[in-house]
């Protein structure tokens, strides 16, 4: 796997590079999630949109789910509006914490459904690589989605994965495992 988790945990300029304890990491994620949720709530108010906000904190990332919005307005075509919202939340969170943000925003489970579709495509590509012995390139993805695909490949056995290309066209390539 070429892409590593270190890519996702690099400090923002000027941030100290010490290893955090698991509790410190969770505390940071809680703080980032609260900042992100406040930002999203303020935006929903400005847009006069309903919505319930749910925060889920995991080991590596915090997730802010916006539910009961009742419209695709915050998702947009192919998730473009959601991607823009994600970038705004990232900037707002980084500005307040002065460190890289690890908050992901989802609207009514859209990102999770898309991620499951990507996992299915990845499993199909793994089967194709095993059958034909040739590398298969997946569609371009964001860093989080690529990490999830690398995880699927790592659990599959008999195949390996790398990332190639430059953002925003960076993609996962699945290869047959070397004997």
CATH number of residue 100's parent domain: 3.30.300.20
CB contact set of 147 (below 8 Å; sequence gap of 6+) = 3, 5, 8
Structure-token match 């010490």, residue found: 18
Q: The whole model's pTM is what?
A: 0.75
Mean pLDDT of 167-173: 93
**Closest residue by Cα to residue 145 from 178, 114, 169:** 114
pLDDT in tens, 81-98: 999 999 999 999 999 999
Residue 25 falls inside a structural domain:
yes
Same domain, yes or no: 48 and 103: yes
Cβ neighbors of 46 (< 8 A, separation 6 or more) are none
Q: Quick count: other Cβ atoms within 10 Å of Cβ 167? A: 8
Reported as a pLDDT band with limits 50, 70 and 90, residue 22 is: confident
Interatomic CA distance for residues 53 and 37, integer angstroms: 7
pLDDT (tens digit per residue) in 62-84? 999 999 887 788 999 989 999 99
Give the bridge partners for 65, in sequence order. Answer: 54, 106
Average pLDDT over residues 31-36: 95
pLDDT at position 6 is 37
Same domain, 58 and 100: yes
State the average pLDDT over residues 136-149.
93
121 pLDDT higher than 50:
yes
Residue 13 pLDDT more than 80? no
Same domain, 26 and 100: yes
State which residues form the domain around 74: 16-108
- β-pair type (103-107, 136-140): unpaired
Residue 99, pLDDT score: 92
Does residue 55 belong to any structural domain of this protein? Answer: yes
């Amino acid at each position: 796997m070429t892409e590593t988790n270190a890519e996702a945990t690099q400090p923002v300029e000027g941030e100290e590079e010490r290893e955090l304890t698991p509790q410190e990491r969770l505390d940071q994620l809680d703080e980032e999630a609260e900042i992100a949720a406040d930002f999203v709530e303020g935006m929903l108010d400005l847009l006069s949109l309903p919505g319930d906000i749910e925060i889920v904190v995991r080991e590596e990332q915090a997730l802010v789910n916006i539910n009961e919005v009742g419209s695709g307005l915050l998702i947009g075509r192919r998730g473009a509006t959601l991607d823009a919202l994600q970038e705004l939340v990232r900037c707002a969170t980084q500005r307040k914490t002065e460190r890289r943000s690890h908050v992901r925003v989802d609207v009514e489970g859209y990102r999770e459904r898309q991620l499951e579709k990507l996992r299915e495509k990845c499993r199909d590509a793994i089967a194709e690589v095993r059958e034909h012995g040739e590398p298969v390139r997946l569609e371009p993805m964001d860093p989080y989605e690529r990490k999830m695909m690398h995880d699927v490949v790592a659990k599959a056995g008999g195949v390996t994965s790398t990332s190639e290309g430059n953002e925003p066209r960076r993609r996962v390539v699945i290869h047959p495992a070397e004997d």
